[in-house]
Amino acid sequence: MSPALLVSVVDDDESVRESLPDLLREFGYTVAAFSSAAEFLASAEIESTRCLILDVAMPGMSGPELMLELRRRQYAIPLIFITAHGSASERPRLVRQGAVECLAKPFSEAELLRALNAALPQP
């Protein structure tokens, strides 16, 4: 069996950092969780992350700013944004900028699984 793909979660909300990794593990992924964009950028996991699920609005560097920084550093990691404060215009804008999806909290397991299937190659 091949090793599980690493999905990293970046969200300043502790409840999301606790619950989302549990769900992702149920889906069969390996998970690393980070409380900020800076923490993720400084981590060893940046090299092995195959999908990044990140909050749009965070203190310090926002999710969209992290997306631009990853591009600047030439990391081509598929991104799934999650947001509690999403406007109708935010999703199309983020997808146009290269995100796989932008999910409004609370999102369903099915919505998350669809986004992951779009972001990650299936065996």
Query: Strands, E, within the chain: which ranges?
Result: 6-10, 30-34, 49-55, 79-83, 101-104
Low-confidence ranges of the chain (pLDDT < 70): 1-3, 86-88, 122-123
Per DSSP, the three-state class of 103 is: strand
Q: What is the pTM of this model?
A: 0.94
Q: How far is CA 36 from CA 76, 95, 110, in A?
A: 19, 21, 26
| Confidence at residue 90, expressed as pLDDT on a 0 to 100 scale | 85
- What is the rounded distance in angstroms from the CA atom of residue 85 to the CA atom of residue 104? 8
- What is the rounded distance in angstroms from the CA atom of residue 31 to the CA atom of residue 38? 18
